[in-house]
Chains A and B, each alone.
Chain A
Amino acid sequence: MLIEEKGGEVKKTNLGVLSAARQDQQNEVCALVFSVHPESCRGMLQRYGVDKIVAVKTPEPNLVSRPEDQAGALSLAIDEFKLDVLLGVASPAGKDMLARVASLRDAPLVLDCLEIDFSSGIIKKSHFSGRTTATLKLKGRPWILGVRPNIFPEIIAPREADVFTYLAPIQASKRLVIRETRQGAAGGLDLSEAEIIIAGGRAVGSADNFKILRDCASVLGAAVGASRAAVDAGFAAHAMQVGQTGKTVSPKLYLACGISGSIQHFAGMKTAKVIVAINNDPDAPIFNKCDYGLLGDLFEVVPALTKALGQSQLK
């Protein structure tokens, strides 16, 4: 498994993917890390079932700014450690890297897997933006698979992990270089990995009004999302958009505020565990496809929710 890192640490979303790898008791799980110090993450990784940790290096430093070389090094590691499957988190960065590795070796690739059967090579994933589920069969090895975040629960499965360093003989390619990484204006939690999302639609009315959602999000520990209508109206940044032409998310809890619930919006959030709709239109289609609906004005309901959450935290 390719471990996704952020600021020198192992991201929490890796753990569910490790549990996906551990579903099959026969599997031996090898964690591939780039910049995280293998000893510093050893405790955490072996707790979630990792048998082996490999720190992948190349002769030239600064590998993270050269995705092509990173992919080349991963591909060599697959051969070196005789890996049958390369798993990763289907986050934007994970999808990019997995697709690069698969394209280097014409390997079968499925991103955003919802189910994996390691013995038969049968995978389930969404097609047509969640309107259908496709059953796929992989041909050839190694399989390169990106797992949708938050789909597999984290399961503790303690192991003893050995640590190795692998120096991949890669010559630095200069044709593609990441020059700079800028923090997003949103600066908040990543939508595709957030466990709770509170999202606003056109009914929020203005960019300023999104503050009531941000206030609620900070008490909930949630990320803030938006519908396409809210983004197109200029109320929210494109990076916040959930749906067909935005992000696909699978949080535990999705609160849709003033979102009517178009097919395109559902395409982005229908795999959420629980969907709550807050809307003052009793005919809003979202009420027919949610777990809980609150018929009321979002400008009253959301602040009431923020207040109630704040009070219960004080207790």
Chain B
Amino acid sequence: MQIYVCIKHVPDTAANIRPLGGPAFDETVKFIINPYDEHALEQALRIREEKNGSEVIAVTAGKEAAMGTLRSALAMGADRGILIKTDTYFSDSLETSRLLKRAIELDGSPSLIFTGKQSVDTEGMQLPFRLAAFLDLPVVVDVVAFSMAGGVVTVEREGEGGVREVIEMTAPCVVGAAKGLNRPRCPTLPEMMKAKKKDIKIIERADLHIPLPHPTVEILELQAAPDRGRGVILKDRPENMVRELLHLLREEAQVL
């Protein structure tokens, strides 16, 4: 069976994001595979290990620089990759999901599609839902446990207060991975070498012949979010510090 994993090329979670006016930011920072997508890919690889003859295909839409992230996915173990080349870093989730849908349909027939539960850049939490809607497939995100028997996928979804919902859906379906799902493997050096020889199909966005949709959400501007400054630091015996803290929380901050 063919398992597609949608991944995203995002700035490192510790990178300093410097806005450059409008939606632009300094893209010379280090980029990584979106952390949740690693859990998605790991799950796909585990299924391939159980089911002989399965193929794992990593798909991304992004600028040419996203090739590096596709190579990381191949080093982790994906069989091959697809890059849909776009000219802007941000694109509307409606457009991205249309591009991914078209690229996946042109490439093969998915038995399963994995994504991360959200990306750490726009934190949109929309792509898995929109992609599933375009493909007319069921979808669950925030998935922390996965199993599959016959044509039925059983997942556990983590909700409020650690509540877990056990959800069944028919395959093919879209699964949005959360961190609790598994522990992603680290590629070994030989695997990184092997990844260099694996196939990456590059599709120009224009060649998908999808009319430019009207964006639903436009990013007007990015602004650095200010940090609060250094706080009032107390240094005393525990009882005294606690007494002072409670006074400050009640009288000054008025949160107690």
- The reply on A262 being an interface residue by CB < 8 A is yes
Which residues of A have CB within 8 Å of B141?
96, 99
Pair A184/B129 contact, Cβ less than 8 Å? no
> Could you tell me the dominant secondary structure of chain B's interface residues?
mixed
Provide the bound-state CA to CA distance between A307 and B164, in Å.
34
Provide the bound-state CA to CA distance between A5 and B137, in Å.
27
Q: A133-B222, A292-B231 are in contact. Are A182 and B163 (CB under 8 A)?
A: yes
Please classify how large the interface on chain B is, using the bins under 10, 10 to 19, 20 to 34, 35 or more.
Answer: 35 or more
Pair A289/B228 contact, Cβ less than 8 Å? yes
Contacting chain B: which of A43-51, A80-88, A189-197?
Answer: A189-197
Partner of B162, one of A111, A186, A253, A275: A186
- The reply on A181 being an interface residue by CB < 8 A is yes
Which residues of A have CB within 8 Å of B165?
178, 180-182
- The reply on B179 being an interface residue by CB < 8 A is yes
Question: How many Å from the CB of B82 to the closest CB on chain A?
Answer: 22
Which residues of A have CB within 8 Å of B147?
none
CB proximity to A under 8 Å, residues B36-58: 36
Question: Smallest CB-CB separation from A188: which chain B residue?
Answer: B161
For A110, A131, A297, the residue with the greatest tally of chain B CB atoms inside 10 Å of its CB is A131
Pair A125/B123 contact, Cβ less than 8 Å? yes
Question: How many Å from the CB of A46 to the closest CB on chain B?
Answer: 26
Question: Smallest CB-CB separation from B153: which chain A residue?
Answer: A176
Interface residues of A, count at CB 8 A: 95
- The reply on B65 being an interface residue by CB < 8 A is no
Provide the bound-state CA to CA distance between A176 and B170, in Å.
7
- The reply on B21 being an interface residue by CB < 8 A is no
Provide the bound-state CA to CA distance between A277 and B233, in Å.
9
Partner of A180, one of B35, B166, B217: B166
Pair A245/B242 contact, Cβ less than 8 Å? no
- The reply on A25 being an interface residue by CB < 8 A is no
Pair B224/A132 contact, Cβ less than 8 Å? yes
Q: When each residue 216-241 of chain B gets 1 if its CB lies under 8 Å from chain A and 0 otherwise, what string results?
A: 11111111110111111111001101
- The reply on B25 being an interface residue by CB < 8 A is yes
Question: Smallest CB-CB separation from B213: which chain A residue?
Answer: A106
Which residues of B have CB within 8 Å of A253?
249, 253, 255-256
Number of A-B residue pairs having CB atoms within 8 Å of each other in the complex: 260
Provide the bound-state CA to CA distance between A290 and B160, in Å.
27
Pair A132/B222 contact, Cβ less than 8 Å? yes
Pair A287/B231 contact, Cβ less than 8 Å? yes
- The reply on B99 being an interface residue by CB < 8 A is no
Which residues of B have CB within 8 Å of A206?
none
Which residues of B have CB within 8 Å of A92?
142, 158-160
Partner of B179, one of A238, A267, A296: A238
Pair A301/B238 contact, Cβ less than 8 Å? yes
Pair B221/A134 contact, Cβ less than 8 Å? yes
Question: Smallest CB-CB separation from A231: which chain B residue?
Answer: B179
Provide the bound-state CA to CA distance between A96 and B118, in Å.
12
CB proximity to A under 8 Å, residues B1-55: 11, 13-14, 16-17, 19, 23, 25, 35-36
Partner of B216, one of A107, A263, A296: A107
Q: A106-B94, A128-B17, A237-B162 are in contact. Are A122 and B220 (CB under 8 A)?
A: yes
CB proximity to A under 8 Å, residues B167-201: 167-170, 173, 179-180
Show 14 residue pairs from A and B whose CB-CB distance is below 8 angstroms, ordered by the A residue. A93-B159, A99-B141, A109-B126, A134-B221, A139-B215, A176-B169, A177-B168, A179-B167, A244-B13, A263-B13, A270-B225, A274-B249, A290-B231, A297-B238
9 other contacts beyond A110-B217, A270-B225, A293-B233, with CB at 8 A cut-off?
Answer: A6-B160, A106-B133, A107-B216, A108-B217, A129-B120, A133-B222, A136-B220, A244-B120, A301-B238
